[in-house]
Chains A and B, each alone.
Chain A
């Protein structure tokens, strides 16, 4: 049987902030409760039906009181709102030097892949003191990756990439849960997050057997699925080169730009028609249904790894808009059939 624990372990850079926010919320509410309950109890005792206390001179001018408490409530609310919003924004802005770890949820387990190709199931090893960014997705239904000791969580939604970041601050082992109902063994879908000293972590990584890294596996898939046939240097198809793509703004056909992030790359592979890079014919076939979530992650990792390479070939260059005029709209129609 458990003890009278009332706070979970505190093991990430967000955790202390969250506990302060909690304290502020409890403090404000406590004050309100004291005020409201205090008044109610005082009135109930003082003005009970058989008490003879003086009741003349009742409160008039209701609207003044109303305005006063409305304004006071609103002010208190705004303060709490800004506090929470500020922390939320920080929770959603990973630092640039965060290491990526890829997470795929499936009924009822978490599959985790490190950038070096190390794999684990239902556990996540991370070094203490270094920011980690998780890229989450799901293979079937919605799951949710929750680590109470870090005070963070995020849904893993099929068909999307969501991210989550944290910096662990205490070495130890912390429970990991699935927090979105996902079927029969929802309650069993979890494991632990192991925070290690960086040196131990390195040793752990090495001990996992140095297979090919995610990006290397991705490169193999890139050839296997024929991507290189169009996107490769030798290709004759008018397709954008992917070197230097990641993280850059991409102008789109029909106006607008998007930042080439994980989601964009993923959508480019599965739903190439949804956002077409300006100046290119929409000839890329959809790979939806052919490439599984694991493989997608590898392809994305590979394309990411090309981010700091520049295109050797000047013909296409980084996809900052086509140099050649796009084909007439008519041919696009034809191609789409």
Chain B
């Protein structure tokens, strides 16, 4: 706390609509929870479509699942899980008012997220060269071609929208990181870090659902 006095920003007072800082913090994290409820249904609609299609074409989905790049997918899972860990750590650091560690941990989280996106890009590139992109260059023969195409349609929708969420997350984390570095947070006020963390864990959890649905279909069993 010694450097609290050197902070370029003064100890924050609540925005005008709030009576106290506590009220503001409660509102912010409650708001994020409500937003995540929205997000659950946003992905829920797509997952429902996935469930329907997989139920209708089990064989085609199994076949398509075997074309997915499980190595990249698995590495990416580890990357995201690690980033969730660094995020949780960052929140913990912020809670104890440790300015620099908070910023560093946020930076690590953002870098891991970038790594995730880069790997995803490699994966997309491979799928493009293998002619697996529906509507643009899909080329697949065989009795299940249609079902494979449906799988890849959903795959690109799901991972694409997840990717957009990751990108937004990187932006949020970057802003929070700069603020943390400049000492905007203290033991008494670290709500933005907490809220960003909530969001980030959600993005991570979505991936935990996507991973088996995408990479493990058709790979279980003999």
Contacts and interface: CB of A to CB of B under 8 A. Distances in A.
Do A and B touch each other in the complex, judged by CB within 8 A? yes
Given A273-B60, A274-B57, A336 B222 contact: no
B45 interface: no
Given A282-B59, A336-B59, A336-B63, A273 B143 contact: yes
Given A329-B222, A336-B63, A273 B142 contact: no
Given A329-B222, A330-B222, A288 B146 contact: yes
Interface string A308-337: 000000000000000000000110000011
Interface residues of B, number: 12
B37 to A, nearest CB: 30
B193 interface: no
Interface in B175-200: none
Interface string B44-71: 0000000000001101100100000000
Interface of B: 56-57, 59-60, 63, 142-144, 146-147, 221-222
Contact of A273 (B57, B221, B222): B57
A271 B143 CA distance: 9
Nearest to B218: A333
Interface residues of A, number: 12
Nearest to B57: A274
A286 B59 contact: no
B143 A286 contact: yes
A183 interface: no
A117 interface: no
Nearest to A286: B143
B199 to A, nearest CB: 39
A274 B147 CA distance: 10
Chain A facing B: main interface SS: loop
Contact of A336 (B56, B144, B146): B144
Nearest to B142: A337
Given A273-B143, A288-B146, 11 more contacts: A271-B56, A272-B143, A273-B147, A274-B56, A285-B143, A286-B143, A329-B221, A329-B222, A336-B142, A336-B143, A337-B63
Interface string A255-295: 00000000000000001111000000010011010000000
A273 B56 CA distance: 9
Nearest to A329: B222
A330 B56 CA distance: 22
A141 B222 CA distance: 41
Nearest to A283: B143
Contacts of A329: 221-222
B172 to A, nearest CB: 43
A273 B59 CA distance: 7
B83 to A, nearest CB: 37
Contacts of B59: 273, 282, 336
A294 B60 CA distance: 27
Contacts of A330: 222
Given A273-B60, A274-B56, A336-B59, A286 B222 contact: no
Nearest to A282: B59
A142 B164 CA distance: 34
26 contacts: A271-B56, A271-B57, A271-B146, A272-B143, A273-B57, A273-B59, A273-B60, A273-B143, A273-B144, A273-B147, A274-B56, A282-B59, A282-B143, A285-B143, A286-B143, A286-B146, A329-B221, A329-B222, A330-B222, A336-B59, A336-B63, A336-B142, A336-B143, A336-B144, A337-B63, A337-B142
A160 to B, nearest CB: 12
Contacts of A286: 143, 146
Nearest to B146: A288
A322 to B, nearest CB: 18
Contacts of B143: 272-273, 282, 285-286, 336
A285 B57 CA distance: 15
A193 to B, nearest CB: 35
Contacts of B221: 329
Contacts of B222: 329-330
A294 B142 CA distance: 25
A133 B83 CA distance: 61
Contacts of A273: 57, 59-60, 143-144, 147
A326 to B, nearest CB: 14
A93 B178 CA distance: 69
A155 to B, nearest CB: 19
Contacts of B63: 336-337
Contacts of B144: 273, 336
